[in-house]
Amino acid sequence: MRKELWFAAVSFCLYFISQLSAWARPATKADFEGKTLCWDDGVERENYYAGGKFENNIEGPGTWDIKENDVFVNKLDRYPKTFVGKAEVNDGGTITYTGEAPGFDDVSAIAQYCK
C-alpha cells in the first residue's frame, strides 16, 4: 500500500510540473516587434519596433532585446540603469516581466497587447 501511495504522489507531482510549463512560455522577439503593450498600471504604453527600438508614452524612447537564456533587456534612454529580467507570455495572452528596473532590484509587471 505504501508503494502505491508513493507512486501516486510522484505521478501527481510530475503531472503538475509538466502542466506548469503549459501556463507560460519565454517571450520571443516576435511577441514584441510591431506590437504595443499596455502595462498593468493603466497608464504606460510601449510601442516595440523591429531593430530593437521602443517608445514609452511617459518615459520616452529606448532600446530592447531578448538575449541568450530568454533574458529580456529594456533600456530607456533617460536612465543609466537597464531593465534586465525575464518576459513570459501567459496562456491568456498577457506578458509578465520579472526582474530589475531603475531604482528597484525586484519587480513584476503584467502587460497585454493594446487594442
pLDDT, residue 1, reads 56
pLDDT, residue 16, reads 43
Residues in Cβ contact with 56 at an 8 Å cutoff, skipping those fewer than 6 apart: 44, 45, 46, 62, 76
Q: Could you tell me the pTM of the whole model?
A: 0.76
Q: pLDDT above 70 covers what percent of the chain?
A: 81
pLDDT, residue 66, reads 96
Share the mean pLDDT of the chain: 84
Q: Comparing 1 with 28, which gets the higher pLDDT?
A: 28
8 Å CB contact between 93 and 112? yes
pLDDT, residue 115, reads 83
8 Å CB contact between 90 and 75? no
**pLDDT tens-digit readout, 63-114:** 999 998 899 999 999 988 889 999 999 998 999 999 998 888 899 999 999 9
